Amino acid sequence: MILEKIDISEIVSEHLKTLRDENTGRGSTKELLIFFIFPFVISSALLLFKLVLGKDMINILIASLSIFVGLLLNLLMLLIAMLDKCKEKINLSKEQQNPADISKKPFFSFDINMLEKRQKLLRDSYHNISFAILLSLLTIPIMIIALANNEVVVYISNFFGYMFLTIFLLTLFMILKRVHLLLSSDT
Protein backbone atom coordinates (compact mmCIF):
# COMPACT_ATOMS: atom_id res chain seq x y z
CA MET A 1 0.00 0.00 0.00
CA ILE A 2 1.26 3.48 -0.84
CA LEU A 3 0.46 4.91 2.59
CA GLU A 4 2.88 2.46 4.23
CA LYS A 5 5.74 4.23 2.47
CA ILE A 6 4.86 7.57 4.06
CA ASP A 7 3.52 6.30 7.40
CA ILE A 8 5.11 8.45 10.12
CA SER A 9 3.45 6.75 13.10
CA GLU A 10 6.54 4.64 13.86
CA ILE A 11 8.72 7.75 14.11
CA VAL A 12 6.29 9.28 16.61
CA SER A 13 5.86 6.09 18.65
CA GLU A 14 9.63 5.46 18.84
CA HIS A 15 10.16 9.04 19.98
CA LEU A 16 7.47 8.66 22.65
CA LYS A 17 9.22 5.51 23.90
CA THR A 18 12.31 7.63 24.63
CA LEU A 19 10.21 9.69 27.07
CA ARG A 20 9.91 6.73 29.43
CA ASP A 21 11.25 6.73 32.97
CA GLU A 22 14.54 4.79 32.86
CA ASN A 23 13.97 3.27 36.31
CA THR A 24 10.45 1.95 35.80
CA GLY A 25 10.31 1.58 32.02
CA ARG A 26 6.89 3.23 32.05
CA GLY A 27 5.88 6.47 30.40
CA SER A 28 7.01 9.48 32.40
CA THR A 29 4.08 11.75 33.22
CA LYS A 30 6.44 14.63 33.92
CA GLU A 31 8.12 14.37 30.53
CA LEU A 32 4.82 13.99 28.69
CA LEU A 33 3.57 17.13 30.45
CA ILE A 34 6.72 19.04 29.50
CA PHE A 35 6.76 17.85 25.89
CA PHE A 36 3.06 18.10 25.08
CA ILE A 37 1.00 20.04 27.66
CA PHE A 38 3.57 22.84 28.07
CA PRO A 39 3.66 23.56 24.28
CA PHE A 40 -0.15 23.56 24.23
CA VAL A 41 -0.24 26.10 27.08
CA ILE A 42 2.45 28.27 25.46
CA SER A 43 0.61 28.25 22.11
CA SER A 44 -2.69 29.09 23.76
CA ALA A 45 -1.15 31.91 25.80
CA LEU A 46 0.57 33.46 22.79
CA LEU A 47 -2.67 33.49 20.82
CA LEU A 48 -4.64 34.71 23.84
CA PHE A 49 -2.39 37.78 23.79
CA LYS A 50 -2.95 37.98 20.00
CA LEU A 51 0.72 37.37 19.16
CA VAL A 52 0.38 36.26 15.56
CA LEU A 53 3.47 35.63 13.45
CA GLY A 54 4.17 38.23 10.79
CA LYS A 55 5.27 37.55 7.23
CA ASP A 56 8.96 38.28 7.92
CA MET A 57 9.04 36.05 11.00
CA ILE A 58 7.34 33.23 9.09
CA ASN A 59 9.95 33.50 6.32
CA ILE A 60 12.76 33.39 8.90
CA LEU A 61 11.20 30.34 10.59
CA ILE A 62 10.79 28.51 7.28
CA ALA A 63 14.43 29.20 6.36
CA SER A 64 15.64 28.17 9.83
CA LEU A 65 13.65 24.95 9.85
CA SER A 66 14.90 24.09 6.37
CA ILE A 67 18.49 24.52 7.53
CA PHE A 68 17.80 22.42 10.63
CA VAL A 69 16.45 19.58 8.48
CA GLY A 70 19.76 19.42 6.61
CA LEU A 71 21.84 19.61 9.77
CA LEU A 72 19.75 16.98 11.54
CA LEU A 73 19.97 14.63 8.56
CA ASN A 74 23.77 14.92 8.74
CA LEU A 75 23.67 14.24 12.48
CA LEU A 76 21.49 11.21 11.78
CA MET A 77 24.18 9.83 9.44
CA LEU A 78 26.84 10.42 12.11
CA LEU A 79 24.76 8.52 14.66
CA ILE A 80 24.23 5.62 12.27
CA ALA A 81 28.02 5.33 11.86
CA MET A 82 28.48 5.49 15.64
CA LEU A 83 25.78 2.84 16.13
CA ASP A 84 27.49 0.51 13.63
CA LYS A 85 30.82 0.96 15.42
CA CYS A 86 29.15 0.25 18.77
CA LYS A 87 27.54 -2.94 17.41
CA GLU A 88 30.93 -4.09 16.11
CA LYS A 89 32.50 -3.58 19.54
CA ILE A 90 29.67 -5.48 21.26
CA ASN A 91 29.98 -8.39 18.83
CA LEU A 92 33.77 -8.43 19.18
CA SER A 93 33.54 -8.42 22.97
CA LYS A 94 31.01 -11.26 22.94
CA GLU A 95 33.25 -13.30 20.63
CA GLN A 96 36.21 -12.74 22.94
CA GLN A 97 34.22 -13.88 25.96
CA ASN A 98 33.40 -17.17 24.24
CA PRO A 99 36.29 -17.78 21.84
CA ALA A 100 36.10 -20.87 19.62
CA ASP A 101 39.86 -21.31 20.03
CA ILE A 102 40.81 -21.04 23.73
CA SER A 103 44.48 -20.49 22.84
CA LYS A 104 43.61 -17.08 21.37
CA LYS A 105 43.90 -14.32 23.93
CA PRO A 106 41.84 -11.18 23.47
CA PHE A 107 43.88 -8.17 22.40
CA PHE A 108 41.46 -5.75 24.00
CA SER A 109 38.30 -5.82 26.00
CA PHE A 110 35.23 -3.60 26.11
CA ASP A 111 32.70 -3.34 28.91
CA ILE A 112 29.62 -4.89 27.29
CA ASN A 113 27.20 -3.28 29.76
CA MET A 114 28.61 0.15 29.01
CA LEU A 115 28.47 -0.52 25.26
CA GLU A 116 24.85 -1.67 25.48
CA LYS A 117 23.92 1.51 27.39
CA ARG A 118 25.71 3.54 24.74
CA GLN A 119 23.87 1.63 22.02
CA LYS A 120 20.52 2.45 23.69
CA LEU A 121 21.51 6.12 23.96
CA LEU A 122 22.46 6.11 20.26
CA ARG A 123 19.12 4.53 19.30
CA ASP A 124 17.16 6.98 21.46
CA SER A 125 19.06 9.89 19.92
CA TYR A 126 18.33 8.49 16.46
CA HIS A 127 14.59 8.39 17.24
CA ASN A 128 14.64 11.91 18.72
CA ILE A 129 16.45 13.33 15.69
CA SER A 130 14.04 11.58 13.32
CA PHE A 131 11.15 13.11 15.27
CA ALA A 132 12.76 16.58 15.14
CA ILE A 133 13.14 16.27 11.36
CA LEU A 134 9.49 15.23 11.11
CA LEU A 135 8.41 18.21 13.22
CA SER A 136 10.39 20.54 10.98
CA LEU A 137 8.85 19.08 7.85
CA LEU A 138 5.35 19.39 9.33
CA THR A 139 5.89 22.92 10.63
CA ILE A 140 7.08 24.37 7.31
CA PRO A 141 3.72 23.92 5.50
CA ILE A 142 1.90 25.14 8.62
CA MET A 143 3.98 28.32 8.47
CA ILE A 144 3.12 28.73 4.78
CA ILE A 145 -0.58 28.34 5.60
CA ALA A 146 -0.15 31.03 8.29
CA LEU A 147 0.42 33.51 5.46
CA ALA A 148 -3.26 33.16 4.43
CA ASN A 149 -5.65 36.11 4.48
CA ASN A 150 -8.35 34.27 6.44
CA GLU A 151 -8.18 35.22 10.16
CA VAL A 152 -9.42 31.82 11.40
CA VAL A 153 -6.88 29.95 9.25
CA VAL A 154 -4.12 32.28 10.47
CA TYR A 155 -4.98 31.69 14.14
CA ILE A 156 -5.25 27.91 13.75
CA SER A 157 -1.99 27.66 11.81
CA ASN A 158 -0.26 29.95 14.32
CA PHE A 159 -1.49 27.77 17.18
CA PHE A 160 -0.09 24.60 15.61
CA GLY A 161 3.02 26.43 14.44
CA TYR A 162 3.77 27.69 17.96
CA MET A 163 3.03 24.26 19.43
CA PHE A 164 5.23 22.36 16.95
CA LEU A 165 8.03 24.92 17.30
CA THR A 166 7.97 24.58 21.10
CA ILE A 167 8.05 20.77 20.86
CA PHE A 168 10.85 21.09 18.30
CA LEU A 169 12.93 23.28 20.62
CA LEU A 170 12.39 20.95 23.58
CA THR A 171 13.36 17.99 21.41
CA LEU A 172 16.48 19.86 20.26
CA PHE A 173 17.50 20.37 23.89
CA MET A 174 17.05 16.65 24.52
CA ILE A 175 19.09 15.80 21.41
CA LEU A 176 21.82 18.23 22.45
CA LYS A 177 22.08 16.63 25.87
CA ARG A 178 22.22 13.10 24.45
CA VAL A 179 24.74 13.93 21.74
CA HIS A 180 26.88 15.68 24.35
CA LEU A 181 26.82 12.51 26.47
CA LEU A 182 27.71 10.38 23.46
CA LEU A 183 30.59 12.53 22.28
CA SER A 184 32.03 13.20 25.72
CA SER A 185 32.34 9.49 26.60
CA ASP A 186 35.56 7.60 26.01
CA THR A 187 34.33 4.90 23.59
- At 108 the three-state DSSP class reads coil
Quote the pLDDT of residue 113. 84
Q: Would you say residue 55 lies in a domain?
A: yes
Residues of the chain with pLDDT under 50: 187
Q: Would you say residue 25 lies in a domain?
A: no
Quote the pLDDT of residue 28. 79
Q: Would you say residue 16 lies in a domain?
A: no
Q: Would you say residue 56 lies in a domain?
A: yes
Quote the pLDDT of residue 150. 95
Domain count, the chain: 1
Contact 156, 123 (CB under 8 A): no
Quote the pLDDT of residue 22. 75
Q: Would you say residue 7 lies in a domain?
A: no
The predicted model scores a pTM of 0.87
Q: Would you say residue 169 lies in a domain?
A: yes
